[in-house]
Structure 1
Amino acid sequence: MTIFEQFVILWVVIDPIGTIPVFVAVTAGQAPEALRRTAFQAAGVAALVLGFFLVFGQFLIDALGISLPAFQIAGGLILFAFAFTMIFGQPMNGSGATSGGPERGDGMPAIFPLAVPSIASPGAMLAIVLLTDNNRFSVPEQAVTAAVMLAVLGCALVLMLLAGPILRVIRASGAAIVSRVMGMVLAAVAVDNVIEAVRVLILEG
């Protein structure tokens, strides 16, 4: 898998653009300094969560005795359900929080709902595990995936810092269109995961 392909997958599941409406909603009324602090905290916590799955995700799967094809199929179905909601539901970003006004966290919007589950969404956690499978990817390849993940999170951070001006330009309707296009791409990724897992099961059988 190329770096570009990894970037596209992680961009879709992390969805930096879809984070903008959530960020604007949960930080309404904050001072500029607080906005910047919230953005950096959200990106940092999301990086720690996804980093945990990058390092320990495969060990967790092995400890539970789950085969990778089974995990891929289950993950593909979950990703497809997530994509289905993005396409036909209200504009959202992995948490069930809509662009119309996600609920605030109890004084810690940087952690909930921004970092988890908006940025470090279930789909992003799953994608990280699949992209760093020890049976398919070497340590250097996994390091590249980590770098790509950090690059996407960096984009999410920049977009959060620019959330106000961007949302004024694209408006809620533009954010909804972007969310649905991302949902279509994610649906294709989910189907591809299932097909690949079934192919592996057939070859192993």
Structure 2
Amino acid sequence: MTEIPVLITAFTTLFIIIDPPGLVPLFIALTQGLGAAQRRAIAYRACLVAAALMLAFLFLGEALLGFIGISMPAFRIAGGVLLFLTALDMLFERRQSRREHSAEEGVDPDHDPSVFPLALPLIVGPGAITTIILLAGQAQGPADFVAITVVMALVLVTVLIAFLASSFFERMLGKTGINIVTRVLGMLLAALAVQFILDGLLSFGFAS
């Protein structure tokens, strides 16, 4: 797997599945109302958590899920349910109301989207996990694992760059534009969540 064409294919596959440009609007919506420093911290933290998760699935793979008794279909269903709850918050602006209430009370907002839903399952979702497990299955030795790790790191760097550039896109949209985008993305995220659940149920049916 150390051949350049193979690595390019692996990078392209993982890049398309994670879709860093497509995560930018979601990052903007999930961090709406936060300061620049807070958003940078969330971006770095999300990518670090995603990196740790990717490495865990690279070296442990299905054994990790199997050890704790979780199948991939169950993982898809659980991720879909949690994403659906996040989508409801986006649709009805519950997250923004909590932030405004916290600001009035003089305390920090209690919502940190860096781990969920950014790192898991938006960056490291079922598709990315499956791809990493498949790449690990093709590895023939330590050099291949190093190559896969480099590929994952490059994809995460593009995700981080996309997140850090989100403020520029937010300024272009303005507050009204962000509110519209948040509602639209909430609906799309709800649909994505339902698709995760359906895929999980379908896979579970075949597995059974």
Larger Rg: 2
2:202 match? 199
Asked if 1:22 corresponds to 2:22, the answer is no
1:32 match? none
- Tell me if structure 2 keeps the 8 A contact 1:83–1:184: yes
Query: Which among 111, 134, 138 is matched to residue 137 of structure 1?
Result: 134
Between Structure 1 and Structure 2, the one with more helix by share is: 2
C-alpha offsets along residues 162-203 of structure 1, whole Å, 9 cap, x if unaligned?
Answer: 48xx44x53322111111121122122212211211121221
For residues 86 and 4 of structure 1, the distance between their equivalents in structure 2, rounded to whole angstroms, comes to: 25
Structure 1 residues 16-55: aligned runs within 5 Å: 16-18=27-29, 21-24=32-35, 35=37, 40-55=40-55
Evaluate the alpha carbon distance shift between residue 10 and residue 74 of structure 1 in structure 2; reply closer, same or farther with a 3 A threshold.
farther
Question: Unpaired segments of 5 or more residues in structure 1?
Answer: 28-34
Which shows bigger deviation, 129-138 or 192-201?
Answer: 129-138
Aligned sequence identity (%): 23
2:180 match? 177
2:18 match? 6
Count of residue pairs the alignment pairs up: 178
Asked if 1:151 corresponds to 2:146, the answer is no
For residues 188 and 79 of structure 2, the distance between their equivalents in structure 1, rounded to whole angstroms, comes to: 15
Evaluate the alpha carbon distance shift between residue 43 and residue 77 of structure 1 in structure 2; reply closer, same or farther with a 3 A threshold.
closer
TM-score, length of structure 1 as denominator length: 0.65
Question: Unpaired segments of 5 or more residues in structure 2?
Answer: 1-12, 137-146
Evaluate the alpha carbon distance shift between residue 42 and residue 73 of structure 1 in structure 2; reply closer, same or farther with a 3 A threshold.
closer
Indicate the RMSD between aligned Cα atoms, in angstroms: 3.8
For residues 20 and 200 of structure 1, the distance between their equivalents in structure 2, rounded to whole angstroms, comes to: 33
Structure 1 residues 42-191: aligned runs within 5 Å: 42-56=42-56, 58=61, 60-87=64-91, 89-90=92-93, 96-98=95-97, 101=100, 103=102, 117-122=112-117, 124-127=119-122, 128-130=124-126, 131-133=128-130, 137-139=134-136, 147-160=154-167, 162=168, 166-167=170-171, 169-191=172-194
- Tell me if structure 1 keeps the 8 A contact 2:87–2:187: yes
TM-score, length of structure 2 as denominator length: 0.64
Letter in 2 for 1:47: C
